[in-house]
Amino acid sequence: MITRKSAPWQLPIEAATPEHLFFNRRKIIKAAGVLGVGALAGCNPSSGEAQTASGGAYPAPEADLDFSESAYTVNDDLTSYDAVTGYNNFYEFGTGKDDPARYADEMTVTDWKVTVDGRANNTGEFALTDLVDYGALEERVYRLRCVEAWSMVVPWVGVPLSDVIAKLEPTDEAKYVKFETYLNPEEMRGVRRNVLDWPYVEGLRMDEAMNELAFVAVGVYGKALPKQNGAPVRIVVPWKYGFKSAKSIARISFISDQPRTAWQKAQANEYGFYSNVNPTVSHPRWSQASERIIGAGPFARRDTEMFNGYEDQVAHLYEGMDLSENF
């Protein structure tokens, strides 16, 4: 039985995407195809089927979740499954948006292990079932912003990041948590090129990581995460731009100093450590005041909200900070 809690952004059941529309999504997407591939451009969005992670731990059987009653939802239509899983940024498989769809199946996700090190009482190598309580999965529907001002509404399945961190018992010296993505050149052809400084690294301040919105996802739309979406386990940080939500987590490190992330090392003037959704701070090459709504046609846009609409939940984390400097 899933325990749900009320949240300020909880909505009634009538706000959900109608069931007949969701299950006719392939027809809808096919019809939308005349608009061109650009209409489906998303942050994590191959059309490949989801793969189970740790010996079929999830979803076996496939979860039957009712996202209309999610305690974590937004007042927007869900992005279709095909869009969420069909067009990706996952540079480990190549820089082309269709590269993850073509090549992600080469990655091995069975018997997954996560190494935990640094300033914590519980370190070592952990199976996913040691970190994630698969008997207490929640469904959460978030609006996510992506690196190039794209917007999606994704029904993730997983557990609060704070629950995982609590099991690992970081010490008082742990001021940041760093995440590293799985790295295997034999399975990930994209890392054979020096596009980024591999492995992919992201991080959060500890208070950010412990916020109720930070999330560890193991599924999407009631299915196991597809590999191109970060199987078998990924981070979701919905008030930040999409690249902050590291995929296919292989290492978690508790550290004292702020880590240099992959995109900071590549282009520090464009991608800061915090990367909070902020319509008042433009990317050097484009405005972030509005974003395209994925799957809603080439001209559908919405105004970008501060902290992606979650200002009530996270603004206190940045009190006294200049967000134009700490971007």
Model confidence pLDDT, tens digit, residues 49-89: 444 444 444 554 456 677 777 778 888 888 888 888 877 78
H/E/C letters for each residue in 91-118? HHHCCCCCHHHHHHHHCCCCCCEEEEEE
pLDDT tens for 136-175 read 888 899 988 877 678 889 999 999 999 999 999 999 999 9
Exposure of 238 in the CB half-sphere (CA atoms within 13 A):
30
Taking CA atoms, 9 is separated from 12, 15, 76, 263, in Å, by: 10, 12, 11, 31
Taking CA atoms, 4 is separated from 1, 72, 191, in Å, by: 10, 9, 40
Length of the chain: 327
Question: How far apart are alpha carbons 321 and 327 in whole angstroms?
Answer: 10
Where in the chain are the domains?
13-318
Structural contact between residues 243 and 230, judged by C-beta atoms closer than 8 angstroms: no
Beta-carbon contacts of residue 29 (< 8 Å; ≥ 6 apart): 40, 80, 82, 83, 86, 295
pLDDT for residue 59: 53
Q: How far is CA 101 from the centre of its chain?
A: 17
Question: How far apart are alpha carbons 14 and 16 in whole angstroms?
Answer: 5
pLDDT tens for 145-156 read 877 678 889 999
pTM: 0.82
Pairwise pLDDT comparison (268 vs 37), residue with the higher score: 268
* Mean pLDDT, the chain, whole residue set: 81
Torsion of CA 37, 39, 45, 48, to 10 degrees: -40
Beta-carbon contacts of residue 113 (< 8 Å; ≥ 6 apart): 125, 126, 127, 250
Taking CA atoms, 269 is separated from 20, 77, 276, in Å, by: 45, 34, 15
Structural contact between residues 162 and 227, judged by C-beta atoms closer than 8 angstroms: no
> Strand pairing partners for 143?
153
Residue type, 281: V
pLDDT for residue 168: 98
| pLDDT beyond 60 at 6 | no
pLDDT tens for 232-267 read 999 999 999 999 999 999 999 999 999 999 999 999
| pLDDT beyond 60 at 19 | no
Which one, of 132, 116, 143, lies nearest residue 236 by Cα? Answer: 143
13-318: CATH class? alpha beta
Report DSSP letters for 64-76, one per residue.
---GGG-SS--SS
